[in-house]
Structure 1
Amino acid sequence: MDNGVEVLLPMVASLHRGARILWLRTPPRYESKELGACLARASANLGRRVACVGSTDLTHYGPAYGFTPMGLGEKAERWVSGTNDKAFIDALLEMNCELALTRAVKKDAACSSGAAIAALGFALESGASSAKLLGYSTSLDLRPDDSFVGYAAIVFV
């Protein structure tokens, strides 16, 4: 099972008992935006209340991931959070699918960016007009290591 689903399913189950869940994987391509938009249109046409959650980790940095363009240490940590992850997050906050996808793929800023793009496509089709960053952290916040991963929570409203 996908780790994003393993994390999200228990939360959905506890917050929304009886919710029906459709789990999809979508590649890091522009068509993922249209997938999200199609889901929004289908739910509206059926008169269903539907929420869309997209899950992706951000930059996977360090020797364990074979990705160390800024070396190791504090410089690398600052680059991941202040440059690489920030660029992807900022594109999502701007609600710009094309820019988010470009930054994710070309900068290795997200491992499942298609999910984030699909969620944004769903939000845009559903009338969302703004995005809010709820939080950002890296695995370093819990455990110091040369290899680490970034995480963010964003809501589209």
Structure 2
Amino acid sequence: MTSPEVLWRTTTASAADTERLGAEVGRLLGPGDGVALKGELGAGKTVFVRGLGRGLGIDDPEDIRSPTYLLMIEHPGPTPLLHMDAYFAERSQDLLADGGEAYLVEGGVLAVEWADRLRMTLPEAFLQVELAHLPEGGRTVRFRGDPGIWGPKVTKLLRQS
């Protein structure tokens, strides 16, 4: 996956802030959108996805947990969320090839943790979210994506913040 230009960079002070940011982003997503998450272990990828679920209005966002060993978990809601974990890239690769991308066409949002571990390239239309630890304990969050697709959504997000 290539690294398009940074559309926005922000920081969060806590897990609750990271989840809240995810919820704000989730409210801007719709059927067919994809989010590729990158970051070290413990950077907040799953917390951010829990927020996405809240923003999408999924049935039970508290049930969102890391799908590392399950590889993929579907969360029902008005716009369903398919949550994948590519940490075990070989197994995830097969799942993505066997229907993960098709899920986007079927009206859901696909969120992929550890997306940078995949050999195959995710669609350029995915929003890339990079989370990193800050020395003082918070997180830095960078959003990258095609400005034609994500620019208006990020602008709307900035107006809401």
Interval containing the TM-score (normalised by the shorter chain): under 0.3
Q: Select the structure that is richer in strand.
A: 2
Alignment TM-score, normalising by the size of structure 2: 0.24
Alignment TM-score, normalising by the size of structure 1: 0.25
Q: Select the structure that is richer in helix.
A: 1
Greater C-alpha Rg: 1
